[in-house]
Amino acid sequence: EILAVSLLGWSSCLIFSVLEEDFQITHAHNTVSNFKRFHGRAFNDSFVQKEKEKLSYDLVPMKNGGVGVKVMYMDEEHIFSVEQISAMLLTKLKETAESNLKKPVTDCVISVPSFFTDAERRSLLDAAQIVGLNCLRLMNDMTAVALNYGIYKQDLPAPEEKPRIVVFVDMGHSAFQVSACAFNKSKLKVLGTAFDPFLGGRNFDGKLVDYFCAEIKSKYKLDPKAKVRALLRLYQECEKLKKLMSSNSTDIPLNIECFMNDTDVSGKMNRSQFEELCADLLQRIEMPLLSLMEQTQLKVEDVTAVEIVGGATRIPAVKERIAKFFGKDVSTTLNADEAIARGCALQCAILSPAFKVREFSVTDATPFPISLLWNTEAEDTEGVHEVFSKNHAAPFSKVLTFYRKGPFELEAFYSDPNGVPYPESRIGKYVIQNVAAQKDGEKSKVKVKVRVNTHGIFSVSTASMVEPVKSEESEDVGVETEVESQDQRPIENSSDVKNKIPDKKGDQPPEAKKPKIKVKNVELPIEANLVWQLGKDLLNMYIETEGKMIMQDKLEKERNDAKNAVEEYVYEFRDKLSGPYEKFVCEKDLQGFSALLTETEGWLYEEGEDEAKQVYVDKLEDLKKLGTPIEMRYQEAEERPKLLEELEYRLQYYATIAGEFRNKDEKYIHIDEMEMMKVEKCVSEVVEWMNNAVSAQAKKSLDQDPAVHSSEIKGKLQELNNVCEPVVTQPKPKVDSPKEENPLNEQSDYKTEDMGDDDKNSEMPQQNGECHPSDQNTISMDLD
Ligand X SMILES: *[C@@H]1O[C@H](CO)[C@@H](O)[C@H](O)[C@H]1NC(C)=O
Rounded Cα gap, residues 239 and 254, in angstroms: 11
Is there a contact between 85 and 32 (Cβ–Cβ < 8 Å)? yes
Closer residue to ligand X in complex, CB, 261/552: 261
Angstrom distance (rounded) from CA 20 to CA 23? 9
HSE, side-chain direction, 13 A CA sphere, residue 34: 25
The CA distances from residue 743 to 217, 220, 366, 654, 779, in Å, are 94, 93, 86, 16, 12
- Least Cβ distance, residue 409 to ligand X (angstroms): 20
Q: How far is the CB of 507 from ligand X (least distance, A)?
A: 18
Q: In whole angstroms, what is the distance from residue 724 CA to residue 654 CA?
A: 7
What's the closest the beta carbon of residue 495 comes to ligand X, in angstroms? 5
Residue placing its CB nearer to ligand X in the complex, 66 or 756? 66
Backbone Cα Rg of the chain:
40
- List residues binding ligand X (CB under 6 A): 42, 44, 65, 159-160, 163, 182-184, 187, 189, 221-222, 248-252, 261, 270, 272-273, 493, 495-496
Q: DSSP string of 528-542?
A: EEETT---HHHHHHH
CA 239/CA 733 separation, integer angstroms: 87
Minimum CB separation of residue 439 from ligand X in Å reads 31
Under 8 Å between Cβ of 626 and 589:
yes
Residue 484 or 622: the one with the smaller Cβ distance to ligand X is 484
**CB closer to ligand X, 248 vs 777:** 248
Amino acid at 172: G
In the complex, the smallest distance separating the C-beta of residue 161 from ligand X, rounded to whole angstroms, is 8
The least distance separating ligand X from the CB of residue 359, rounded to whole angstroms, comes to 13
Compute φ and ψ for 359, nearest 5 degrees.
-60, 130
- When the beta carbons of 490 and 733 are compared against ligand X, the nearer one is 490
Local structure of 434: helix, strand or coil: coil
Q: Tell me the backbone φ, ψ of residue 371, rounded to 5 degrees.
A: -120, 160
How many whole angstroms from its chain centre is CA 382? 48
The distance in angstroms from the start CA to the end CA of the chain is 70
Q: How far is the CB of 285 from ligand X (least distance, A)?
A: 22
Cβ proximity to ligand X: between 500 and 624 the closer is 500
Query: Of 426, 345, 548, 515, which is closest to residue 40 (Cα–Cα)?
Result: 426
CA angle in degrees (0–180, nearest 5) for 246-248-253: 100
Q: C-beta of 262: minimal distance to ligand X in Å? A: 9
Q: Which is nearer to ligand X, 236 or 594 (CB)?
A: 236
Rounded to a whole number of angstroms, the minimum distance from the CB of residue 327 to ligand X is 23
Nearer to ligand X, 248 or 578 (CB): 248
Q: Give Cα 265 distance to the centre of its chain.
A: 40
Do the Cβ atoms of 305 and 330 come closer than 8 Å?
no
Shortest reach from residue 522's CB to ligand X, in Å: 26
DSSP H or E run through 4: strand 4-6
Alpha-helix residue ranges (DSSP H) falling in 266-386: 271-277, 279-283, 286-296, 316-326, 339-351
Helices 710-728, 673-698: inter-axial angle, 10-degree rounding: 160
Q: Nearest-CA neighbor of 410 among 385, 389, 388?
A: 385
| DSSP string for 634-664 | HHHHHHHHHHHHHHHHHHHHHHHHHHHHHTT
- Residue 629: asked if its preceding bond is cis (omega within 30°), the reply is no
- Measured from the CB atom, the residue of 249 and 540 that comes closer to ligand X is 249
Q: Please state, in angstroms and rounded to a whole number, the distance separating the CA atoms of residues 634 and 639.
A: 9
Give the closest residue to 710 by CA, choosing from 759, 654, 655: 759
CB of 138 vs ligand X, minimal distance in Å: 22
Closest separation between CB of residue 305 and ligand X, Å? 15
* Calpha distance 353→356 (Å, rounded): 8
Least distance from ligand X to the Cβ atom of residue 618, Å: 47
Supply the minimum distance, in Å, between the C-beta of residue 216 and ligand X.
10
* Ordered alpha helix ranges (H), 151-284: 201-220, 228-247, 271-277, 279-283
Choice between 186 and 438, CB closer to ligand X = 186
Q: Please identify, using beta-carbon distances, which residue of 273 and 730 lies nearer to ligand X.
A: 273
Pairing mode of beta strands 263-269, 303-309: unpaired
Exposure string for 288-300, b = 16+ CB within 10 A, e = fewer: bbebbbebbebee
Report the residue number, 85 or 216, with the smaller CB distance to ligand X: 216
| Closer residue to ligand X, CB minimum distance, 302 or 601 | 302
Instruction: Please tell me the number of Cα atoms within 13 Å of 522 on its side-chain side.
Output: 15
Q: Could you tell me which of 421, 340, 364, 347 has the C-alpha nearest to residue 18?
A: 340
Minimal distance, residue 360 CB to ligand X, in Å: 11
- Strands 164-171 and 176-184 turn out to be antiparallel
Contact between 681 and 654 under an 8 Å Cβ cutoff? The reply is: no
Shortest Å, Cβ 269 to ligand X: 7
DSSP 8-state code for residue 63: T
Minimum distance from residue 194 beta carbon to ligand X (Å): 19
Please identify, using beta-carbon distances, which residue of 272 and 635 lies nearer to ligand X. Answer: 272
Nearer to ligand X, 360 or 689 (CB): 360
Q: Which is nearer to ligand X, 227 or 678 (CB)?
A: 227
C-alpha 403/C-alpha 304 separation (Å) is 49
Task: Rank residues 92 and 207 by Cβ distance to ligand X and give the closer one.
Answer: 207
Identity of the amino acid at 781: M
- Which residue's CB is nearer to ligand X, number 180 or number 526? 180
Supply the minimum distance, in Å, between the C-beta of residue 611 and ligand X: 38
